[in-house]
Structure 1
Amino acid sequence: MAKAATKGTKKAAAKSAAKVAKPAAKAAAKAPSATKASAKPAAKPSAKVTAKAAPKATAKAAPKATARAALKAKAKPARKPVIKLSMLRPSVNNMTVRVFARAAGLDPSETDAWGHTRSPEFLARNPAHLTPMIEDKGLPRGVLWESCAIMQYLANKHGLDKFYPKAPAKRAMVDSAMFYLVGTLYPYVARATYPALGFPQYAGEVGCSDAHPDKKSEAQKAATAAIAEPLEVFHSFFRDGKPFIGGSNPSIADIRLAATLEFLAVIDYALPNWAKDYMAAIEKKLGKAYAEPAGDVRGYIAHVKSQATA
């Protein structure tokens, strides 16, 4: 009896356990689908909210980012190449490079070499003891003198076609004008003005020879009279009705010519009207880039003339 009761009890317990297990299993089986169902509605709204919010956030962030970039650009301007330039302020040869470097935006670092061109340190770098002189690591000997060569080099290096055109024909005219100036016009200007300026002249020039003062005066007058012819060549041939030798903008030849003509003020040379207008147009076009170095030359000329009349 005890055994039978036990068996009956076990069967009854098993049946009731099975009844309880079936609903639990069904519930468990349904639970994942319910979870998925509940997950889907939750995911969709959040995705929509994110999609709607993202464009707004991007739209708001974009102007801010642009503004920040603009501020950074203003705060950190592009670095300009620095040119180390040794120069003499009263000299128009030096004025030429000083004007060009400023007009080209090359930010020259200038050193006044007055009284130092014959020093051992200067001669070690520049045995010709001439100014203007630039220092640049890209040069075979590290330095370069002669104003026209310096302008050509810098224009080529920095792609300054505005001042020194790449087109062979146009460039040839600029080169021709500069070489004609250096070989013909400038020697006349030097002979006419250097004695009045107190500048030493090159070996063999009448101004520094042992010739009689009358002969020196004769040579100076002859040089002054000779200036008119090459000057007219610049007007009629090289400019040929254009505002400048370079066309609508001053070229390196124009800068060299205008600087050269500055010296003629020391002998009160009567420039033709076209030359006066030409020099004024270059100064107006180049602004402070021309006016500041020209001011040093003009100041020295005014000083020399005041000493002569004192």
Structure 2
Amino acid sequence: MAKTATAKKPVAKAAKPGAKPAVKAAAKPAAKAAKPAAKVSAKKPSAKAKAKSAKKPGLSLSMLKPSVNNMTVRVFARAAGLDHSETDVWGHTRSPEYMARNPAHLTPMIEDKGLPRGVLWESCAIMQYLANKHGLEKFYPKAPAKRAMIDSAMFYLIGTLYPYVARATYPALNFPQYAGEVGHSDAHPDKKSEAQKTAAAAIAEPLEVFHSFFRDGKPFIGGKNPSIADIRLAATLEFLAVIDYELPNWAKEYMAAMEKKLGKAYAEPAGDVRGYIAYVKSQANA
């Protein structure tokens, strides 16, 4: 046992001097090397995390370019900075695949995982949903009184103004039906023409309501910034160019202000509507 003990001690003594420098030498370079690596690896995930948090969820939008209803959502999605894709479904809205998702065969239509049925149509409902989901109070205020005025303006538009605009413009746009047309496209041409003229004459009254009541001296219905009701109204007024409707000066200035305020977000979708209107007018004059 004594021999074993004496054998261990020299080895231990020899090991201690050698072990300490080896540990220190290995630890210091390793620590130094680890610090830069830690910094690099820490920066990359944080940058990706920031990018992911800043990027809004993807959104799929099925639309028709010549339509002001579709223009409404296209403008809103751009103005709100929503990450979205657009699919032109011209000629496909009655396909079995589309009807399976949207039995009303309407556009615009969005697809979103958070929706009970996965899809949503009607332009005003889409804007309300997206504004609520993403907290876009700039376009759709949460304060009950302010929100009520936005809702009132939109409901008045789709219930009163838009039926007149549709009846006055759809025949000129070669759209298959318009609000109030008897039997859709089966109505006699004379009846269509009469209804079209009557509707065009009726537009002035509800249009003035938007000016005197909903705007009430403000740049927009939403105040200093356009609301979802403003986007819907401006898009609706775009259609009136097809019948050369003479807008009052305030409406012309209003539309110009909308385009200036929203920039490309408004101009690009509006360009598709204007292009289609120019096309149908050229065909009518040919």
TM-score bracket, shorter-length normalisation: 0.7 to 0.9
The offset of 1:107, in angstroms, is 2.1
Q: Deviations over 1:197-216 (max 9, x none)?
A: 00011586148454442222
Unaligned residue ranges in structure 1 (runs of 5+): 1-60
Give, as a single letter, the amino acid of the residue that structure 2 aligns with 1:228: A
Distance in 2 (alpha carbons) for counterparts of 1:198 and 1:205? 14
Matched residue, 1:180: 156
Query: Corresponding residue for 1:127?
Result: 103
Task: Name the counterpart of 1:54.
Answer: none
Q: Aligned in 2, Cα 1:207/1:291: closer, same or farther, shift over 3 Å?
A: farther
- In the alignment, is residue 213 of structure 1 matched against residue 189 of structure 2? yes
Question: 1:141 corresponds to which letter in structure 2?
Answer: R
Bigger radius of gyration, 1 or 2?
1
C-alpha change, 1:172 and 1:204, in structure 2 (3 Å) is closer
Listed one character per residue, the Cα deviations across residues 75-110 of structure 1 (whole Å, up to 9, x for unaligned) are 957323211000000000000000000000002200
The residue that corresponds to 1:93 in the other structure is: 69
Counterpart for residue 89 of structure 2? 113
Partner of 1:15: none
Indicate the residue corresponding to 1:273 in structure 2.
249
Q: Report how far residue 274 of structure 1 moved.
A: 0.1
Give the TM-score normalised by the residue count of structure 2: 0.81
Q: Root-mean-square deviation (CA), in Å?
A: 2.2
2:134 aligned with 1:158, yes or no? yes
Matched, 1:251 2:227: yes
1:47 counterpart residue number: none
The answer for the alignment partner of 1:264 in structure 2 is 240
Q: 1:209 to 1:84 in 2, by over 3 A?
A: closer
Please give the alpha-carbon distance, in whole angstroms, between the structure 2 residues aligned to 1:307 and 1:301.
Answer: 10
C-alpha contact 2:170 2:176 (8 A) present in aligned 1:
yes
Could you say which residue in structure 1 is the equivalent of 2:15?
Answer: none
Letter in 2 for 1:152: Q
SS across alignment from 1:129: coil
Secondary structure of the 1:114 match is coil
The whole-number CA distance in structure 2 between the counterparts of 1:202 and 1:268 is: 18
**Among 49, 55, 59, which residue is 1:79 paired with?**
55
Q: Residues 127, 308 of structure 1: CA spacing in aligned structure 2 closer, same or farther, 3 A cutoff? A: same
Provide the C-alpha distance between the structure 2 equivalents of 1:144 and 1:285, rounded to a whole number of angstroms.
28
Q: Distance in 2 between matches of 1:214 and 1:124?
A: 37
CA distance, structure 2, for counterparts of residue 118 and residue 80 of structure 1: 31
Of 248, 271, 275, the residue aligned with 1:295 is: 271
Match runs of 1:185-204 below 5 Å: 185-202=161-178
User: Which deviations, in whole Å up to 9, do the C-alpha atoms of 1:209-257 show, x marking residues without a partner?
Assistant: 5444222211110000000000000000000000000000000000000
- 1:239 alignment counterpart: 215
1:146 aligns with 2:122: yes
Amino acid paired to 1:115: G
Q: 1:96 to 1:233 in 2, by over 3 A?
A: same
- 3-state DSSP of counterpart to 1:111: strand
Q: Percent identity?
A: 87
Q: How many residues align?
A: 245
- Is contact 2:109–2:122 with CA below 8 Å preserved after alignment? yes
1:286 maps to 262
Question: Aligned partners of 2:180 and 2:212: how far apart in 1?
Answer: 32
CA distance in 2, matches of 1:170, 1:268: 34
1:106–1:196 Cα change, 3 Å = same
Alpha-carbon distance change, 203 to 266 in structure 1, aligned in 2, over 3 angstroms:
closer
